[in-house]
Amino acid sequence: EGLSKSSKLFERISAEAIKEYITCEARILGWPKNEHQTLKDQIDSFSKDIKENFVEPPLSEKKDDTVDIIAWKSFRDNRCSQIVILAQCAAGRNWKTKLSSLRLERWKQYIHWACPPIKGFMVPRIISQREWYESAVDAGILFDRVRIYNLLGNRKLDKNFKIELIQWCKKELARLDS
């Protein structure tokens, strides 16, 4: 439960960071976001929202198919062809194994994009300068701890979300002290 809570909070922080970066809309996708909505339903709904063509559903066992956040910057004309970022969040210790796991080719099977999406990768760590380039080649636009902090450090967050983050931090600090 603790890891799941941490991961979900990190996804929310990451969505806020992307929204700040390109002044866009963002949606947290997948599992366990909404037990009542399948990944197919989420992708279908998203494609309608951005006026792209839904093609075929993912296999039913795909929880989120490595995409945790979809972010997009639409034009006011309500037509397709816009900036779309498909981002993966890797909050665990095995983040390096996830660098190249997001497969845009698969997402092109689900949605017939007028303009191909770009990959993003969110990690609550500092990626060293030595590893930066190779990580970016594999994962797309990198959002590490430094970038996320720089994007959100002075931004006002939703009051309830801020309270939830503070409570989580206090609990984690207490756990570290014990």
For 167, the token pair is 């409570």
What is the per-residue pLDDT for 39?
81
* Element holding 119 (H helix, E strand): strand 118-122
- Burial class of residue 68 (count of CB atoms within 10 Å of its CB; 0-12, 13-18, 19+): buried
Tell me what pLDDT residue 2 has.
54
17-69: per-residue pLDDT in tens?
999 999 999 999 865 555 667 888 888 999 999 999 999 887 766 566 789 99
Q: Is the pLDDT of residue 77 over 60?
A: yes
Structure confidence by residue, pLDDT tens digits, 99-138: 998 989 989 999 999 999 999 999 999 999 999 999 999 9
Q: Is the pLDDT of residue 1 over 90?
A: no
pLDDT score for 161: 83
145-175 pLDDT, tens per residue? 999 999 988 788 788 888 888 887 777 777 7
**Whether 125 contacts 143, CB under 8 Å:** no
pTM for the model stands at 0.87
Give me 91's structure tokens.
Answer: 């909050």
At residue 140, does pLDDT exceed 60?
yes
